[in-house]
Amino acid sequence: MPEGHTVHRLAAEHQRMFGGRRVAASSPQGRFAEGAARVDGRVLVEADAHGKHLLVRFDDERTLHVHLGIYGKYVFGAVPAPEPVGAVRLRLAGAAGFADLRGPNACELLEPGDVKVLRDRLGPDPLRADGDPEVAWRRVGRARTPIAVLLMDQSVVAGPGNIYRAEVLFRRGIDPRLPGRRLTREQWAGIWDDLVVLMAAGVRAGRIDTVRPEHMPEAMGRPPRVDGHGGEVYVYRRAGLPCLVCGSEVRTVELAARNLFWCPGCQPSAV
């Protein structure tokens, strides 16, 4: 489930499993054979995340950069690692376990300068201690672009994806199509603070839960919902179902090539 919280978990898992240790690297699928050969036998110095980008630094100062995209996935396991199954782009293995990477959007080795270039084009990350909401507000507060699109733009805010953007706008009662410049500073602060809370909870739980206890289906006398992405949410992929708060029918529309979900009752039109 690759939104930012997932990648921060992956960084922590890399750190725990491989940090300060020598690793064996291979590309069973073959598409990262050259890069894996360069990493093979190196000490993994530090694993870090900025938004949806995983950055793993080795003792030659090169950094492995992984972006999962929609499809990418990591599987961790205990050693001895079994024979790789399917298209494993990269396998790291150490004394404490192994990590298999499949289907990433990006898997490459970066020189130190490249890492700076990458990070410079990313906005602040609500999950990072250095994440500064003011930096994002400079973009948001001037944009004619709908806030729902701005929240998916990783150069504005790094980390949130389609689920968090839908859910945070619902929780703040904000019309997704409101242009950024028409938000108040307080509304932006509310969005940012809620992202910090929700995404930190996502890192801890390994899933996206955004529904307050009093709105859980059980508390409303309804059966619990089964949802593919693994968490309890207000509007994401709930089109046509009643809003957990006001009962209005949750709506969906395609916006900037992504599915947007919102509740017309709780997020009344402000455009």
Partner DNA sequence: TATAGATGAGAAT
Partner DNA sequence: TTCTCCTCTATAG
Binding site for DNA (CB under 7 A): 1-3, 6, 29, 31, 51-52, 67, 69-71, 73, 86-87, 89, 102-103, 105, 152, 154, 161-163, 208, 228-230, 237, 257-259
Active-site annotation holds for 46: no
Nearer to DNA, 119 or 182 (CB): 119
Say which of 9, 52, 62, 102 is annotated catalytic. 52
Peptide bond into 80 cis (omega under 30): yes
Say which of 111, 116, 258, 268 is annotated catalytic. 258
Nearer to DNA, 88 or 244 (CB): 88
Nearer to DNA, 148 or 243 (CB): 148
- Smallest gap from Cβ 147 to DNA, in A, equals 16
Active-site annotation holds for 52: yes
- Smallest gap from Cβ 252 to DNA, in A, equals 9
Both tokens of 137, joined, read: 């507000």
Active-site annotation holds for 2: yes
Active-site annotation holds for 258: yes
- Smallest gap from Cβ 74 to DNA, in A, equals 11
Spatial separation of the C-alpha atoms in residues 55 and 33, rounded to whole Å: 19
Exposed, middle or buried: residue 17 (CB in 10 Å: 0-12, 13-18, 19+)? buried
Say which of 2, 133, 146, 179 is annotated catalytic. 2
Which residue type is seen at 87? A
Is the CB of residue 24 less than 8 Å from the CB of residue 93? yes
- Smallest gap from Cβ 220 to DNA, in A, equals 22
Write out the DSSP string of 195-263: HHHHHHHHHHHSS-----GGGSTTTTTSPPPP-TTSS--SSTT-TTSBPTTT-PBPEEEEETTEEEEE-
The residue among 132, 209, 137, 113 whose CA lies nearest residue 168 is 209
How many CA atoms lie less than 13 Å away from 32 in the CB half-sphere?
Answer: 28
| Residue 44 main-chain phi, psi, to 5 deg | -80, 115
- Smallest gap from Cβ 85 to DNA, in A, equals 7
Eight-state DSSP code of residue 57: E
- Smallest gap from Cβ 163 to DNA, in A, equals 5
Nearer to DNA, 6 or 210 (CB): 6
Nearer to DNA, 140 or 152 (CB): 152
Spatial separation of the C-alpha atoms in residues 209 and 216, rounded to whole Å: 11
Is the CB of residue 145 less than 8 Å from the CB of residue 241? no
Nearer to DNA, 2 or 180 (CB): 2
Active-site amino acid positions: 2-3, 52, 258
